[in-house]
Homo-oligomer: A and B are copies of this chain.
Amino acid sequence: VLEQEKMIGVVAGVGPLAGLDLLGKITEQTIAECDQEHLAVVSISQPGEIVDRTAYLLDDSLPNPAVAIAGQLRRLAQMGAQVAGIPCNTAHAPAIFTAVQHHLSTYGGHSVHLLHMIEEVGLFLRQQFGQIKRVGVLSTTGAYQAGIYPQILQPMGFAVVVPSWAEQESLIHPAIYDAEFGIKACGRKSEQARENLLVGVALLKDAGADAVVLGCTEIPLVIPEPEVDGLAVVDPTLILARALIREAAPHKLRPYSEVVG
């Protein structure tokens, strides 16, 4: 059986906490009774060479982070990774992700199957919730302005609902970036960030969302539960972890019912 399992590769430096979160979720979502039954995973966290993704989206005269990301994916492939993921929503903006795919395809040598985290979220929503139409998305202001989720989910048949600009600026952005209480400054301990984001979830519910995607890898740190007031909240890092296991060793993927239950 071991021979049939694929090795997973993780671009773990975008950012380092998201990388750790993905590695942890791969372990948690794997059915394993002892150390030896866990999947083979290689990761590179080399954040210094990957320029800020949002900065590039807002100013494309800057270097495209796709070059460094593709270089790291290539090294993961050389290490044996056959399927890989990038736990960063912004890196899945078409302007970056398409360039990553292009750089990968022009390399010789080992190839690696790179999953698309946000498309996986769309596939998950379709599979898990069937009829769902309106999907709410909370994200950084960079991802909001770049319209990453609408660009990817709308062609998959979803209507995407986001906070108003005023709500984005007054509630969501500070929850992630505020120097006093933002998640980047405080990590999972920020009660204020959680409060702001729960208001954000409620606003999207009022706007008709049938589920809400926590579209920034920091947000699930303060909203770890799979449902808020009966509304499903979806963690893309968890979905990516599960998709990687599905590709690497489908028989070792924990049932999703265990995650929700």
Residues of A within 8 A of B (CB): 2, 5, 7, 12-17, 20, 23-24, 27, 35-48, 50-52, 75, 78-79
Contact = CB atoms under 8 A, between A and B. Distances in A.
Contacts of A5: 48
B40 A45 contact: yes
B44 A79 contact: yes
The 10 closest A-B pairs by CB, nearest first: A15-B35, A40-B46, A16-B38, A35-B47, A41-B45, A38-B47, A43-B43, A16-B27, A42-B44, A36-B47
A79 B78 CA distance: 9
A27 B5 CA distance: 29
A48 B40 contact: yes
Contact of A37 (B38, B45, B48): B48
A191 B27 CA distance: 22
B48 A36 contact: yes
Contact of A24 (B14, B20, B47, B75): B20
A254 to B, nearest CB: 15
A164 B47 CA distance: 47
A50 B34 CA distance: 12
B35 A16 contact: yes
Given A15-B35, A20-B23, A42 B40 contact: no
Contacts of A47: 35-38, 40
A47 B15 CA distance: 25
Nearest to A187: B28
Nearest to A5: B48
A2 B46 CA distance: 11
A45 B32 CA distance: 14
A50 B23 CA distance: 19
A69 to B, nearest CB: 13
A27 B23 CA distance: 14
Contact of A36 (B23, B52, B79): B52
A37 B51 CA distance: 11
A37 B49 CA distance: 10
Nearest to A14: B35
Contact of A79 (B2, B37, B39, B79): B79
A102 to B, nearest CB: 24
A24 B21 CA distance: 9
A238 to B, nearest CB: 15
Contact of A42 (B2, B42, B52): B42
